[in-house]
């Protein structure tokens, strides 16, 4: 029987940071990730990480900006905790070796939507990737951390309100692994929607596992749609960072006019929910574009090398061409309900990062607070509490049953159907009618999935998607009035 002090499910910034901290006290830490360790949502965070690092800035300003962006739905205690610990979080990353873009020995700061000051520390336009690279390297070198890559966390082992570990699917075999402390750090659920900036791994697995384990949730209805994802037919919805607008990019409608002027005092730098809905409405009349042509070309190439090069491969020169954009599902503002220590209502079970509902984001996330939340809340040295000796030793494991060709083909269709359902009915603008339609469609999809006998990773993942989608839809139905990125027409 395998037993660890700590099991961490997920290998993004929150999971790896907590694993490194746990390894300072606990000598047996396991990190489980369903793909390569570096393939996490953190890798795709371009803009940066927000913190009060300038003498022109202060904690109260950052707190106010966070709460205003969150439509005053935030947990103020959690917001203050995150903001006040922000500078120390940046200092830790610097100590670990993250090469933040600097000038004259000081970290350079940019500004993004909803921020009243420049407070975003960045590494060009690859901040998440730079942070992930450093954390992965530290985790691989740590003698107390074991890494299980290409390993699917099928379910938590829970009995009488206490978590005892996780059942994994590895090399087509199920195993039960026990731990004194189990941590969910599985990231987001953007793949529930047809159009998303998230990688393929973001399927809401942590939300589904936590639900089956009996966890409480908060604010699942608040799905943030990033306003500016690349819109080219047949191409991925590549994220165009908020920082691009922070450096002065305009948003233009099909007539070439800046439509955000007059809609919000901050124009293009308004909070994301406002910009996303404005673009959504403008799209009814034609394509919407981002415009950088008025900016210095050399500055743009240096400041946003990844965006410049990626769009160049798609035939666009962002210093000369308009960039076609459209909103896409990006971030879940709520999730598993946790306290400031990351504890859930299930004993011995913790959660960190995007999968959680800490309350800091309220009804709409302020740009670049996500990496900050993931780092601050996971940056604890917790000693694993010993499990009681009467833990369930007779829990069985499932038998691996590969999917038949018919089941695989059916699952592929159901996945597409689920994502279209969520995009069309639980998207940027919702209604009672659309949410009820989504509920009915998801019930049909779930019923078909339950008939499948296979226990393959693809089917288990799709079942997680159906459950997570149902929970989000249910939360959206329960909130009758619009708030933040949850916008209802009736």
Residue 321 exposed, middle or buried by CB count within 10 Å (0-12, 13-18, 19+): middle
Q: How far apart are CA 178 and CA 169, in angstroms?
A: 14
List alpha helices for 285-404, DSSP H: 297-303, 305-313, 369-378
List alpha helices for 97-231, DSSP H: 127-141, 205-213
Q: Scan for tokens 């900006």, then name that residue.
A: 65
- Radius of gyration for the chain, computed over Cα atoms and rounded to the nearest angstrom: 22
Which position among 28, 272, 430, 488 bears the catalytic label? 272
**What count of other Cβ atoms lies within 10 Å of the Cβ of residue 347?**
15
The answer for residues whose C-beta is within 8 angstroms of residue 319's C-beta and 6 or more apart is: 292, 293, 295, 297, 300, 301, 308
CA atoms within 13 A on the CB side of 211: 19
Q: Is residue 272 annotated as a catalytic residue, yes or no?
A: yes
Dihedral of CA 58/251/330/300: which sign? negative
Question: Bridge-partner residues for 146, per DSSP?
Answer: 30
Question: Strand 217-218 vs strand 335-337: parallel, antiparallel, or unpaired?
Answer: antiparallel
- Residue 335, SS3? strand
Question: Strand 152-159 vs strand 49-50: parallel, antiparallel, or unpaired?
Answer: unpaired
Q: How far apart are CA 440 and CA 425, in angstroms?
A: 11
- Residue 274, SS3? helix
CA atoms within 13 A on the CB side of 423: 18
249-276 burial code (b ≥16 CB/10 A, e <16): bbbbbeeeeebbeebeebbbbbbbbbbb
Question: Bridge-partner residues for 156, per DSSP?
Answer: 166
Q: How far apart are CA 128 and CA 330, in angstroms?
A: 15
DSSP class of residue 268 equals G
Question: Bridge-partner residues for 9, per DSSP?
Answer: 32, 184
DSSP class of residue 239 equals B
Positions annotated as catalytic residues are 272
């Amino acid at each position: 029987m395998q037993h660890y002090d700590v099991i961490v499910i997920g290998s993004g910034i929150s999971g790896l940071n907590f694993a490194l901290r746990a390894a300072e006290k606990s000598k047996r830490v396991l990190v489980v990730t369903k793909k390569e360790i570096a393939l996490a949502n953190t890798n795709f965070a371009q803009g940066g990480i927000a913190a009060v690092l300038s003498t022109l800035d202060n904690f109260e300003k950052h707190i106010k900006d966070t709460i205003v962006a969150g439509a005053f739905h935030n947990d103020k205690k959690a917001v203050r905790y995150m903001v006040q610990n922000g500078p120390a979080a940046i200092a830790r990353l610097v100590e670990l070796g993250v090469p933040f873009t600097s000038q004259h020995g000081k970290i350079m700061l940019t500004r993004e939507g909803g921020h009243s000051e420049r407070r975003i520390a960045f590494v060009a336009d690859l901040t998440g990737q730079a942070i992930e690279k450093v954390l992965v390297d530290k985790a691989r070198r740590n003698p107390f951390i074991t890494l299980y890559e290409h390993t699917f966390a099928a379910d938590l082992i829970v009995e009488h309100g206490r978590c005892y570990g996780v059942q994994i699917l590895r090399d087509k075999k199920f195993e039960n692994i026990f731990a004194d402390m189990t941590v969910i750090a599985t990231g987001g659920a953007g793949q529930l929607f047809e159009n998303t900036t998230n990688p393929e791994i973001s399927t809401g697995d942590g939300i589904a596992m936590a639900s089956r384990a009996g966890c409480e949730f908060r604010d699942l209805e608040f799905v943030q749609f990033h306003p500016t994802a690349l819109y080219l037919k047949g191409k991925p919805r590549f994220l165009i960072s908020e920082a691009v607008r922070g450096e002065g990019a305009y948003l233009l409608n099909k007539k070439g006019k800046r439509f955000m002027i007059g809609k919000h005092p901050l124009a293009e730098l308004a909070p994301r929910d406002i910009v996303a809905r404005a673009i959504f409405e403008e799209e009814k009349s034609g394509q919407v574009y981002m415009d950088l042509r008025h900016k210095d070309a050399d500055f743009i190439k240096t400041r946003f090398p990844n965006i410049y090069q990626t769009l160049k491969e798609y035939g666009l020169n962002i210093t000369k061409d308009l960039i076609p954009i459209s909103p896409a599902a990006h971030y879940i503002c709520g999730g598993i309900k946790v306290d400031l220590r990351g504890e859930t209502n299930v004993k011995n079970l913790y959660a960190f990062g995007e999968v959680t509902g800490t309350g800091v984001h309220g009804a709409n996330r302020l740009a670049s607070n996500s990496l900050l939340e993931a780092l601050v809340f996971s940056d604890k040295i917790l000693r694993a509490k010993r499990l009681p000796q009467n833990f369930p030793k007779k829990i069985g494991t499932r038998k691996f049953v590969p999917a038949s060709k018919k089941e695989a083909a059916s699952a592929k269709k159901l996945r597409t159907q689920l994502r279209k359902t969520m995009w069309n009915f639980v998207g940027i603008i919702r209604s009672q009618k659309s949410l009820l339609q989504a509920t009915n469609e998801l019930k049909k999809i779930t019923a078909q999935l339950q008939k499948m006998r296979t226990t393959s990773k693809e089917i288990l993942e799709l079942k997680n998607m159906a459950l997570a989608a149902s929970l989000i839809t249910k939360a959206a139905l329960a909130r009758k009035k619009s708030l933040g990125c949850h916008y209802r027409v009736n």
